[in-house]
């Protein structure tokens, strides 16, 4: 699938709108980030892992619950990596990105609502509901991203995209703060205990996600399809064939390839910390209030820390700044091995907040500097899919070591090699040489047309 043609069709939709319509469409598009970020913040990172642990440990050891959560996270990510490009291709061919996004929202919100209704001993049903919701959430994000050219001119895209990210950060933080209050002081809200408050949190997340999606359905135009002539039987083959061709081209760009391998390693380590931190804390006996409250601290600190990382990158360069972030995460994995108390978990959360946003954002900008402009869509499509596939390894490794060691403490050290090797490979990348090669490929491609 040629993503550039799809982007041109979407861009035509943006041009067809009047100024007021485009502003309203941009607001509605950004509001979806506000809508779905609560799932990533409240469910995936903060509330569900310790709640799952509290349910599962009624019938199994705590370390076994940690391992099962790791396997489930890896499986959901792997399914998403396979489904995302295929779903995008089908939506593009049928001219149905909004309809398929809405289907993902309904499915994801339903899975989230099901978490509130799972029986007290139904940890397997809880994992099934989480898997459905997570796959729908991640697949829907691909469709949501593809709607950006339908609401913004090329010169506006960076601004609109950043605004959507900011709205998501604010929305996720606001609802998480409400959930923290519910879980810490349930009786003040007429709830019997923290478990009941947690179920209310799942239900409000589902409702929030669904309700704030509706403006997008109403105000964002459906991009014109540029692929209606492609037979449905060829969609899967063409989609994954394009990924293979992109990988073959990347292999001919040494700096880009080295950067990607480095990114896969350290990004997998970062993702594993995000997915496994709270359930590891629950295994250690840290209270649910401290676990969820520490994630709220991450929400509060991460934004100014990301800005500070951006300023630092302006002084010493993105590559050196990311290496500082990788070193920071290496220290976090070591620190987690010695973690015992709630206050130590709060310190670890603050450390994550300092390094998380800036490291990931600067990694994206480095990748962008290494790819040809005329292939940016397909390269970022490959970047997204490969990041998900690479992210499967960390949770599986964490789960295996947790099972073998009968606890997650030793498993925290499995992340250290990812940061060491990933950081070393990043030092081997010559960004200037890589950017010059990308420019040369652009010029040769333009000359060949």
Enumerate residues 6+ apart whose C-beta is below 8 A from 421.
262, 265
pLDDT band with cut points at 50, 70 and 90 for residue 376: low
Q: What architecture is the 1-230 domain classified under in CATH?
A: Up-down Bundle (1.20)
Spatial CA neighbour of 375 closest among 287, 261, 245: 245
Q: How far is CA 405 from CA 345, 401, 410, in A?
A: 21, 6, 7
| pLDDT for the residue numbered 1 | 37
pLDDT band with cut points at 50, 70 and 90 for residue 289: confident
| pLDDT for the residue numbered 333 | 95
| pLDDT for the residue numbered 7 | 43
Which residue's structure tokens are 């043609």? Answer: 5
Q: Rounded to whole angstroms, how far apart are CA atoms 198 and 291?
A: 13
pLDDT band with cut points at 50, 70 and 90 for residue 226: low
Task: Please tell me the pTM assigned to this model.
Answer: 0.80
Spatial CA neighbour of 134 closest among 31, 275, 281, 297: 275
Q: Rounded to whole angstroms, how far apart are CA atoms 337 and 405?
A: 13
Q: Rounded to whole angstroms, how far apart are CA atoms 314 and 325?
A: 15
Residue 199 in tokens? 């179920």
Q: Rounded to whole angstroms, how far apart are CA atoms 356 and 378?
A: 26
pLDDT exceeds 70 at position 328: yes
Residue 436 in tokens? 């010059």
Enumerate residues 6+ apart whose C-beta is below 8 A from 391.
77, 267, 268, 271, 272
How many residues belong to the chain? 449
Q: Rounded to whole angstroms, how far apart are CA atoms 139 and 141?
A: 5
Question: Is 181 within 8 Å of 1 (Cβ atoms)?
Answer: no
| pLDDT for the residue numbered 375 | 66
Residue 81 in tokens? 């990596």
Which residue's structure tokens are 């030793």? Answer: 410
Q: What architecture is the 231-449 domain classified under in CATH?
A: Up-down Bundle (1.20)
Residue 445 in tokens? 């491609």
pLDDT exceeds 50 at position 178: yes
Spatial CA neighbour of 40 closest among 163, 208, 153: 208
Q: Got the DSSP string for 51-111?
A: HHHHHHTTTS-HHHHHHHHHHHHHHHHHHHHHHHHHHHHHHHHHT-HHHHHHHHHHHHHHH
pLDDT band with cut points at 50, 70 and 90 for residue 48: very high
Say if 1-230 and 231-449 have the same CATH topology.
yes
Maximum Cα interatomic distance, the chain, rounded to a whole number of Å: 70
Looking at per-residue pLDDT, the higher value among 199 and 84 belongs to 199
Residue 211 in tokens? 């309700």
Looking at per-residue pLDDT, the higher value among 370 and 135 belongs to 135
Question: Is 36 within 8 Å of 167 (Cβ atoms)?
Answer: no
What average pLDDT does the chain have?
84
Question: Is 115 within 8 Å of 179 (Cβ atoms)?
Answer: no
Count CA within 13 A, CB hemisphere, residue 286: 23
Q: In what helix (H) or strand (E) does residue 213 lie, and over which residues does it extend?
A: none
Q: Rounded to whole angstroms, how far apart are CA atoms 19 and 185?
A: 47
Q: Which of 2-16, 71-85, 125-139, 393-407 has the lowest mean pLDDT?
A: 2-16
Residue 33 in tokens? 């980030």
Q: pLDDT for 244-278, tens place per residue?
A: 777 777 888 899 889 989 998 999 999 899 889 99
Q: Rounded to whole angstroms, how far apart are CA atoms 405 and 174?
A: 38
pLDDT exceeds 60 at position 6: no
Enumerate residues 6+ apart whose C-beta is below 8 A from 51.
195, 198, 288
pLDDT band with cut points at 50, 70 and 90 for residue 239: low
Average pLDDT over residues 413-439: 92
Burial of 191 (0-12, 13-18, 19+ CB in 10 A): middle
Enumerate residues 6+ apart whose C-beta is below 8 A from 396.
70, 71, 74
Phi, psi for 365 (deg, rounded to 5):
-70, -35
| pLDDT for the residue numbered 227 | 52
Domain residue spans of the chain: 1-230, 231-449
């Amino acid at each position: 699938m040629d993503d550039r043609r799809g982007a041109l069709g979407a861009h035509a939709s943006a041009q067809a709108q009047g100024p007021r319509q485009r502003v309203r469409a941009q607001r509605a598009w950004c509001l979806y980030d506000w809508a779905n970020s609560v799932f990533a913040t409240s469910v995936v990172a903060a509330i569900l892992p310790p709640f799952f642990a509290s349910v599962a440990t009624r019938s199994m050891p705590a370390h076994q619950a940690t391992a099962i959560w790791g396997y489930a996270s890896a499986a959901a990510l792997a399914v998403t990596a396979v489904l995302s490009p295929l779903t995008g291709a089908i939506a593009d061919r049928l001219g149905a990105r909004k309809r398929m996004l809405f289907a993902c929202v309904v499915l994801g919100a339903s899975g989230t609502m099901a978490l509130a209704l799972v029986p007290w001993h139904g940890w397997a049903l809880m994992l099934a509901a989480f898997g459905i919701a997570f796959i729908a959430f991640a697949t829907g994000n691909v469709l949501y991203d593809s709607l950006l050219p339908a609401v913004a001119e090329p010169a506006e895209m960076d601004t609109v995209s950043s605004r959507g990210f900011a709205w998501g950060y604010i929305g996720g933080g606001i609802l998480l703060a409400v959930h923290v209050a519910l879980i810490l002081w349930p009786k003040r809200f007429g709830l019997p205990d923290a478990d009941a408050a947690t179920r209310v949190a799942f239900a409000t997340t589902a409702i929030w996600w669904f309700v704030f999606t509706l403006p997008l359905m109403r105000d964002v135009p459906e991009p014109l399809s540029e692929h209606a002539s492609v037979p449905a039987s060829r969609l899967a083959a063409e989609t994954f064939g394009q990924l293979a061709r992109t990988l073959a081209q990347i292999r001919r760009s040494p700096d880009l390839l080295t950067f990607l391998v480095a990114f896969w390693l350290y990004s997998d380590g970062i993702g594993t910390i995000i997915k496994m931190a709270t359930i590891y804390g629950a295994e250690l006996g840290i209270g649910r209030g401290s676990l969820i409250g520490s994630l709220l601290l991450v929400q509060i600190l991460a934004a100014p820390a990301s800005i500070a990382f951006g300023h630092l990158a302006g002084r010493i360069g993105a590559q050196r700044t990311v290496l500082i972030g990788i070193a920071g995460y290496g220290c976090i994995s070591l620190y987690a091995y010695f973690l015992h108390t709630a206050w130590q978990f709060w310190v670890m959360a603050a450390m994550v907040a300092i390094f998380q946003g800036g490291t990931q954002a600067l990694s994206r900008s480095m990748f962008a500097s290494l790819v040809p402009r005329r292939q940016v869509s397909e390269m970022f499509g490959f970047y997204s899919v490969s990041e998900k596939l690479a992210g499967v390894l960390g949770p599986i490794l964490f789960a295996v070591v947790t099972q073998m060691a009968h606890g997650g403490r030793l498993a925290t050290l499995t992340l250290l090699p990812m940061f060491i090797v990933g950081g070393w490979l990043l030092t081997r990348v010559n960004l200037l040489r890589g950017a010059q090669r990308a420019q040369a490929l652009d010029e040769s491609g333009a000359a060949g047309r």
